[in-house]
């Protein structure tokens, strides 16, 4: 066998391997059913910014979520959700010695913040969660996407010198955020699911707390961007739709 024949054989093998990979992926994508899922969740929303430079679990305030999830393939699911939360952040009552500093004591600021988040994220499931033959059926997952945020805030201070600069009436603003995080799904039954999730939201603005370098140069940290977080538990219900075989689609009644 000449060197040219060997090269041709190797090329044919490579083409067959690549083709088999594509065909295998297509077969796996043709699952016998697709799922859609609706659920609710409760948890805590947490703000991180100039008034709270670090994430602390004790600063969580109640939050409610509702969501819709649909599988795209075995590892991928698409989820849309709505989160609602209300919280109050106070420079002087965060309950940590790290905040007993001259800066927070001088600022004496309080923020009343309500927010509504509408998000669309893609989830990557590390295990085949939708394989009903698995017992127990669970999977950790990672998610990332895009969110729109409507928030209503009011910033006040007890420092008389800063009141003209910081005291502001309630104002509603819009912002964009990048949500990402991790979670765990666990099937309680064929239809009911339990979920745990922790996610961060990177804001594309530094004005969630009304303290930005542009508006308050003496009181804001230009290197401390605003974030918010959500961690909680959810309960959801799965609907199954059976995918008819291609032959049945072309000839209705063939399986009757």
Higher per-residue confidence, 114 vs 211: 114
pLDDT at 250: 57
**Please, which contacts does 184-190 make with residues 24 or more away whose CB atoms are closer than 8 Å?**
184/138, 184/139, 184/140, 184/141, 185/125, 185/129, 185/138, 185/139, 185/141, 186/136, 186/137, 186/138, 187/129, 187/136, 187/137, 187/138, 190/132, 190/238
What integer is the mean pLDDT of 132-158? 91
pLDDT at 97: 54
Higher per-residue confidence, 110 vs 75: 75
pLDDT at 4: 52
What integer is the mean pLDDT of 169-173? 84
pLDDT at 181: 97
pLDDT at 82 over 80: yes
Residue found by looking up tokens 């996610």 in the block: 199
Higher per-residue confidence, 149 vs 4: 149
- CA–CA dist 138, 193 (Å, integer): 9
List pLDDT tens digits, range 197-248.
999 999 988 888 888 766 666 677 777 778 999 999 999 999 988 776 665 5
* For the chain, counts of helices (H) and of strands (E): 4, 8
Beta bridge partner(s), residue 88: 112
pLDDT at 195: 97
CA angle, 21 as apex, 15 and 27 as ends, to 5°? 135
pLDDT at 94 over 60: no
Q: What is the DSSP string of 159-205?
A: -TTTHHHH----EEEEEEEEEEEEEEEEESSSSEEEEEEEEEEEES-
Higher per-residue confidence, 54 vs 40: 40
What integer is the mean pLDDT of 116-140? 93
Residue found by looking up tokens 């945020």 in the block: 149
100 exposure class (CB count in 10 Å sphere: 0-12, 13-18, 19+): exposed
Higher per-residue confidence, 190 vs 5: 190
> Distances from the Cα of 234 to the Cαs of 25, 66, 146, 186, 203, in angstroms?
31, 9, 20, 10, 24
Query: Mapping DSSP to helix (H, G, I), strand (E, B) and coil, where does residue 249 land?
Result: helix
Tell me if 200 sits within 8 A of 225, measured CB to CB: no
> Distances from the Cα of 166 to the Cαs of 106, 108, 157, 174, in angstroms?
12, 10, 7, 20
What integer is the mean pLDDT of 3-27? 46
What integer is the mean pLDDT of 87-96? 62
- CA–CA dist 214, 11 (Å, integer): 61
pLDDT at 19 over 70: no
pLDDT at 12 over 60: no
CB atoms within 10 A of CB 180: 14
Q: Is pTM, for the whole model, over 0.85?
A: no
Q: What band does 20 get if pLDDT is binned at 50, 70 and 90?
A: very low
């Amino acid at each position: 066998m000449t060197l040219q024949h060997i090269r041709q054989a190797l090329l044919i093998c490579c083409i067959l391997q690549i083709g088999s990979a594509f065909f295998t992926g297509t077969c796996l994508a043709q699952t016998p059913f697709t799922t859609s899922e609706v659920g609710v969740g409760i948890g805590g929303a947490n703000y991180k910014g100039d008034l709270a430079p670090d994430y602390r679990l004790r600063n969580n305030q109640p939050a409610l979520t509702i969501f819709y999830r649909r599988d795209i393939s075995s590892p991928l699911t698409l989820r849309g959700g709505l989160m609602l939360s209300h919280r109050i952040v106070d420079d002087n009552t965060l309950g940590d010695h790290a905040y007993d500093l001259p800066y927070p004591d001088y600022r004496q600021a309080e923020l009343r913040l309500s927010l509504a988040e509408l998000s669309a994220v893609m989830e990557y499931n590390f295990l085949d969660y939708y394989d009903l033959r698995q017992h127990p059926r669970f999977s950790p997952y990672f998610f990332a996407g895009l969110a729109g945020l409507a928030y209503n805030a009011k910033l006040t201070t007890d420092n008389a010198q800063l009141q003209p600069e910081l005291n502001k009436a309630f104002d509603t603003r819009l912002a964009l955020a990048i949500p990402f995080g991790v979670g765990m799904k666990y099937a309680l039954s064929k239809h009911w699911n339990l979920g745990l999730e922790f996610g961060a939201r990177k804001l594309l603005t530094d004005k969630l707390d009304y303290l930005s370098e542009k508006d308050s140069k003496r009181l804001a940290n230009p290197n401390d961007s605003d974030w918010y977080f959500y961690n909680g538990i959810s309960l959801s219900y799965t609907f199954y739709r059976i995918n008819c075989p291609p032959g049945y689609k072309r000839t209705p009644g063939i399986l009757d």
